[in-house]
Structure 1
Amino acid sequence: MMALQDNEIRLLLVNELYSPGERPQMTFKVVSLNNPPPFVALSYVWGDLADTLPLGVGEHIITATRNLHHALESLTVSKKYQALWIDALCINQDDFEERASQVAMMGDIYSRAEYVLAFLSPQSDPFNMGLDFMEKTAQNPEMHFDPSLSPHLTVDAPRLAAFGLTASDPILQRSIIDFFGTPWFTRVWTVQEFLLARKVIFRCGKRTIDAEVVKKCCRSWIDHSKTCCWSGDQPRHGNTHGFIDTTWDNSSNLTLYTATLRMKPLMDMSSRGRLHSIDFLAAISLFRIRQCSDPRDRIYGFAGLYLSGIDIKRELQVDYQVSTALLFRNLAATLIEKSQTLDVLSHVLHESRIDKRVPGLPSWVPDWNATMNGRQHLLYTDRADRIRRCHASGDLGPGWAFSASGNVLIRGLQIGKVKAIAPGYPSSSKNSTFGGKETIDSWRRLAGLFETLPLEEGIQDSQDIAFQNALSGGFTWANESVDYPDAYKSWLEWFTSTNPGSLPVACKEITQEFDDLMHQTSMHRCFILTDNGELGFGPETTVEGDAIVILPGGKVPYVLRQVEVACQGTITYRLLGDAYINGAMAGEKARSGMSGFEDMFLA
């Protein structure tokens, strides 16, 4: 291949003049990225690197994955794409210097392309019905997807002799789920390719759909699922979203609800002004459940997005000689030093449902390669975003002393120890027998509230108010149309009801909104009573005797577990996770206990 000069790229030119059945003629052309001709950048999943086929480009024979062959066959048959940029072909993969240079330019390449073509599948048939429904939803966002409401969306599939299909029909759900179940929606590298593009077109075989249409469709589903089309089911019924959260026989084990969640982070990041205002920590957490063959790419794969906070390319550099554990540790330390906050600690997840995969990490370092499902991910990202508004340590900065061993010397204020615990928000498992009433009863007993549920008007003593504050995690109630006590009462009636599906339509939005608040506070957590009588929620691994500590730079308290005492008397702790504790979230405890901060080690 001809060598590239500064700011040059290769384009793959496809000859239009070929007959059906012939292999298209392709050649390379070197152009300047300063003033390139119109070209389309391909976004795709490489596939199995061991499953390759030879590909002729001019005088060159290049090895390409079978998945890329499928993409090229699909694209060249249409004769629409005369100039393409494809990373595996247009970068000389055997020239390490060129590869490093071109990878550094990929942000500019995708942003200067006429549009980015996201290739999902060489087939159209499995997706046609779902694509029709998504296009119709985008055109009619006010229409319901719940077939019990009117007007609701329907779609026809004449080839299958199926007419008037609704979102509750398994055959339509499978088609939509299969679209979001394609590998493209699971990979780290496709994120920046989507976000940097001027325009994105999804392609399935012969069918295409504009990404803006997909976003409008998903926005409509999300809005309707929060209000009118919310089923009102309780977690003990398996989910709270009814038929849209039913698992059908599909290989990805997705539901219509969890499939939509795969699009939501892309929608959030690509909204106007959002891309360059979001910081690096928030970005990598939004796409934490995406996959990559090298776990270090969970960090390096976002280096081209020009995010706020830290310049990852300058602070850490892209270096594949560094181990995954050391990279994750260096990232956590850099985020703490540069932000002067402990926000990164809220991304440490030690729950039993999280499959951690990087050994040797200190307890204070997030395992970015840990796996979780879509529901857990949505809950965790919403919670991490909300707690940034808290100020448990006031204006105090972290001042951590890092060591090569991974242990850090810190100062902390112990504000209590865990005296008793109760289970958190009920599991969404269909095998769970712990319902809403049992949950509330156990929480109230722990809080010392033994009387019946306070649904009557006027019953609001200080203990009840403290209990309600604990349930909402102290988060501000943003809905100005309904008072917090009324929202709490509506939610409590639904949560403890034996017939939750009968919830009036007028109450659905406020109840679902409050339930979202409850999820963020208490799901995958346990209810806590401290030895000082304070209520709150902490990590589900919390046990009696664990310490509740405020750390300078932390916006929330943390639950620590003692592991050893050094000969000088300095205690070493292990971080379990962050917590909500009544009366500690706005700096009250930190201000009143300034003299109580003492040295401790965090392992």
Structure 2
Amino acid sequence: MSSLERYHYTRLPDGPYIRILTIFPGGPSDPLRGELKLFNTDTDEDYEAVSYVWGDPSRSHEIVCNNKTLSLTASLEGALRRIRRANQPRRIWVDQLSINQYDLSERSQQVQFMNKIYRNATRVLVCLGEDSNTEAEEAFQLIRNLGQTFQDGESNEKFRIMNTEHLRDQPEAQWAPLKRLIALPWFTRIWIVQEIGTQAPATLYWGDSECDWDLICGVARHLTDFHHMRKHFGLRTTDIKYLYKRFVEPDRAGRHANRLSLMYELHRAAHCRLTDPRDRVFAFLGHYAVREGNPQLAAVRADYSKSVEEVYYDIAERALLGDPGKTLITLAVVQHPRLPSKTSDGSCARHLVDAMPLPSWVPDWREHESHILSEPTSSHRAHAGRPADLEIERAVKVLKLRGIKVDVLEACSDPIQQKEFHFDKSRRVLAIESLWREICGKTRFDLENRYLDDPNGDHAVFAYMQTLSSGGIATASWDARHYHEIDCEEWFAQGAAYLTAALADTGLVSAELKDKAVGGDLYKWTRAANGSASNRSFGRTARGRYVLGPKAMEKGDVVCVLFGGKMPFVLRPWDDGKFLLVGECYVHGLMQGEAIELLERGKIDEETFHIC
């Protein structure tokens, strides 16, 4: 091959043109040969699209293309050999060869077509790599068996549950191949969200074995419903459930309403891996949340000549200004691992703010580690339906928002660790006890104290347990039943059951509260609290309100209800009357428009917050 001339790309013509590679047939040891040709995406010619992991970026292998050599990575070389047919050619689109990767302008232009490319493919060919431990067929056969089990139980829920419980009793080793399948790098690539998330059928190839993507997704959806079994075997089936048809527009009103926000989609993909931080945004430019609804987002083009900060700022500004629903989902996804403290020396603090790569109100997708509280489908309505009232001073990148200052934080905990509320009687001091004592200033758990000392208000312990679980009993971090949809006594029973079991023999739980625990499921509250509170801080305001907020919040921060925000927000007072956005929060007693009601009754005033 080395004696042949190197392949040189010619510039693509204007319009919806891509390059299609025809792989010539060959045997297992034959050199790779093919032909690259221009293709108009508006025509009806058939092709398949390849999805794979780049791996080592060095191009150490070659393919003879148009009688010239073209270098490619080892992973793509293996993928092409796997999908090459023995007796007939195969027409494919594959990014590494179909795009001139050394031309920034072409890369930017072709990214705009990628969703259309995968959407229009006759099939997506997913190459997972080599099956070095010879376990692919075991994994795929287990999936086929599970699919049959769940299919048999579709019309009989009792049958399905019995068979699923039987599956749980099987040896863990039997599940190991499936566990390793889901752990393969392909499943967390940022680009696969649009590559596999369309209506196009897909086949997964792992070594010499293959399996239908729809079958895998169907099994994953069923396994995700059985939380205990999924956790028992360490199966990350939620990653697969997330991917399924993620780029397909809902086919009826209200279905998958949480997918109508680009910022929410970027948040949900935070676990996905990438090499270029700009691809966190560019990989989603084909999503229908961009194409429809927000004209400012529809105008965004992938541009690899822009810095990461320019890309992140631009998408946040457009998402805020063009949001047809006038919501603050863009601010809800902001997460700061750290923020300058206002208790620092003034000049030093200003220096720290100046050194921040982005304004505090712009999500930095390089530092994203928690779920959000204001899920688009949640029932929280701190704004009472009042739309966002905002503008942006572009010259200084200051966001101006109308809202209400409600309270000031007086005490804050350290960040709550993951699984802090797992039921574990071996621990000497539980978080549920220490937060109650150190932040709320109480010792016993009983029904005597009322929240905010309001004789007609909620029990203080109810407000406490509800705040730690963000007001919901979760079935998954993005799918929760909120307390407005649940009988109050049923909800209270879950938290009371946890307190009764966790603090047994301590004398800290009153007999009346123990009675509330009858029929309660402590694990429901545990799951909800671990999902909501992990990586967040618990606090109390000057007026006694309980707050579950960002881990960066601290004493002196301001709790506000901003118009357009489903959740209240924590702001940090700064120089010249400006504020830093710390993040969203849950505040018991403010989640159903209570602050807006006070405003309308003339009890409090609205103001403009300048956020830098």
Q: TM-score range by the shorter chain?
A: 0.7 to 0.9
Q: Deviations over 1:414-463 (max 9, x none)?
A: 211112334676643799999698333345445466444569xxx99733
TM-score (norm 2): 0.76
| Equivalent of residue 551 in structure 1, options 562, 576, 600 | 562
**Displacement, 1:29?**
4.4
- In structure 2, do the counterparts of structure 1 residues 334 and 15 end up closer, same or farther at CA, with 3 Å as the change threshold? closer
Q: Deviations over 1:15-64 (max 9, x none)?
A: 33x45533354233444433444321111122332243221123121111
**Displacement, 1:332?**
1.7
**Displacement, 1:194?**
0.9
CA distance in 1, matches of 2:263, 2:334: 12
Corresponding letter in the other structure for 1:439: A
CA distance in 2, matches of 1:306, 1:481: 30
| SS of equivalent residue, structure 1 residue 292 | coil
- RMSD across aligned positions (CA): 4.0
**Displacement, 1:541?**
2.7
1:518 matched residue in structure 2: 529
CA distance in 1, matches of 2:551, 2:118: 43
Corresponding letter in the other structure for 2:560: V
> Does the alignment pair 1:490 with 2:494?
yes
Query: Which structure 2 residues correspond to residues 407-418 of structure 1 after superposition, within 5 A?
Result: 407-418=398-409
- In structure 2, do the counterparts of structure 1 residues 51 and 325 end up closer, same or farther at CA, with 3 Å as the change threshold? same
- In structure 2, do the counterparts of structure 1 residues 168 and 345 end up closer, same or farther at CA, with 3 Å as the change threshold? farther
Q: Deviations over 1:49-106 (max 9, x none)?
A: 2243221123121111111111112222666862222222233446666555544332
- In structure 2, do the counterparts of structure 1 residues 508 and 61 end up closer, same or farther at CA, with 3 Å as the change threshold? farther
Unaligned runs of 5+ in 2: 1-8, 155-160, 340-354, 449-454, 473-479, 505-517
CA distance in 1, matches of 2:555, 2:426: 22
> Does the alignment pair 1:578 with 2:570?
no
| Equivalent of residue 587 in structure 1, options 590, 593, 606 | 593
> Does the alignment pair 1:46 with 2:54?
yes
Q: Contact 1:344 / 1:366 at 8 angstroms: preserved in 2?
A: yes
Q: Contact 2:413 / 2:537 at 8 angstroms: preserved in 1?
A: yes
| SS of equivalent residue, structure 1 residue 295 | coil
2:607 matched residue in structure 1: 598
Q: Contact 1:477 / 1:484 at 8 angstroms: preserved in 2?
A: no
Q: Contact 1:189 / 1:301 at 8 angstroms: preserved in 2?
A: yes
**Displacement, 1:177?**
3.0
Q: Deviations over 1:135-187 (max 9, x none)?
A: 222221259xxxxx9645899xxxxxxxxx96652x44442232222222222
Corresponding letter in the other structure for 2:593: G
Identity %: 22
> Does the alignment pair 1:131 with 2:140?
yes
> Does the alignment pair 1:196 with 2:198?
yes
1:181 matched residue in structure 2: 183
- In structure 2, do the counterparts of structure 1 residues 268 and 539 end up closer, same or farther at CA, with 3 Å as the change threshold? farther
CA distance in 2, matches of 1:275, 1:57: 43
CA distance in 2, matches of 1:469, 1:53: 58
CA distance in 1, matches of 2:559, 2:482: 28
**Displacement, 1:2?**
7.2
- In structure 2, do the counterparts of structure 1 residues 207 and 78 end up closer, same or farther at CA, with 3 Å as the change threshold? farther
> Does the alignment pair 1:118 with 2:135?
no
Q: Number of residues paired by the alignment? A: 539
CA distance in 2, matches of 1:211, 1:55: 28
Corresponding letter in the other structure for 1:585: M
Query: Which structure 2 residues correspond to residues 356-435 of structure 1 after superposition, within 5 A?
Result: 359-372=356-369, 376=370, 380-381=371-372, 383-385=374-376, 389-392=380-383, 394-422=385-413, 427-428=418-419
CA distance in 1, matches of 2:484, 2:456: 21
CA distance in 1, matches of 2:206, 2:296: 34
| SS of equivalent residue, structure 2 residue 70 | strand
Corresponding letter in the other structure for 2:590: A
**Displacement, 1:530?**
1.5
2:113 matched residue in structure 1: 105
CA distance in 2, matches of 1:31, 1:403: 41
Corresponding letter in the other structure for 1:267: Y
| Equivalent of residue 269 in structure 1, options 246, 268, 279 | 246
1:292 matched residue in structure 2: 274
CA distance in 2, matches of 1:310, 1:436: 52
The worse-fitting range, judged by mean Cα deviation, of 31-40 and 326-335 is: 31-40
TM-score (norm 1): 0.77
Q: Deviations over 1:279-302 (max 9, x none)?
A: 212211111221222211111111
- In structure 2, do the counterparts of structure 1 residues 42 and 359 end up closer, same or farther at CA, with 3 Å as the change threshold? farther
CA distance in 1, matches of 2:428, 2:494: 13
> Does the alignment pair 1:350 with 2:336?
yes
- In structure 2, do the counterparts of structure 1 residues 120 and 460 end up closer, same or farther at CA, with 3 Å as the change threshold? farther
- In structure 2, do the counterparts of structure 1 residues 342 and 583 end up closer, same or farther at CA, with 3 Å as the change threshold? same
Q: Contact 2:260 / 2:288 at 8 angstroms: preserved in 1?
A: no
Corresponding letter in the other structure for 1:294: D
2:300 matched residue in structure 1: 316
Q: Contact 1:426 / 1:435 at 8 angstroms: preserved in 2?
A: no
- In structure 2, do the counterparts of structure 1 residues 187 and 78 end up closer, same or farther at CA, with 3 Å as the change threshold? farther
1:504 matched residue in structure 2: none
Query: Which structure 2 residues correspond to residues 100-249 of structure 1 after superposition, within 5 A?
Result: 100-123=108-131, 125-141=134-150, 151=163, 168-169=171-172, 171-225=173-227, 229=229, 241=231, 243-244=232-233
Q: Contact 2:568 / 2:585 at 8 angstroms: preserved in 1?
A: yes
- In structure 2, do the counterparts of structure 1 residues 115 and 324 end up closer, same or farther at CA, with 3 Å as the change threshold? same
| Equivalent of residue 536 in structure 1, options 533, 547, 550 | 547
Q: Deviations over 1:265-290 (max 9, x none)?
A: 21372675368962212211111221
| SS of equivalent residue, structure 1 residue 489 | helix
CA distance in 2, matches of 1:208, 1:542: 49
Q: Contact 1:350 / 1:576 at 8 angstroms: preserved in 2?
A: yes
Q: Contact 1:347 / 1:384 at 8 angstroms: preserved in 2?
A: no
Q: Contact 2:105 / 2:303 at 8 angstroms: preserved in 1?
A: no
- In structure 2, do the counterparts of structure 1 residues 511 and 406 end up closer, same or farther at CA, with 3 Å as the change threshold? same
Unaligned runs of 5+ in 1: 144-148, 156-164, 231-240, 245-255, 501-506
| SS of equivalent residue, structure 1 residue 420 | strand
CA distance in 2, matches of 1:94, 1:472: 49
Query: Which structure 2 residues correspond to residues 445-484 of structure 1 after superposition, within 5 A?
Result: 445=437, 446-447=439-440, 450-453=443-446, 462-464=458-460, 465-475=462-472, 477=481, 483-484=487-488
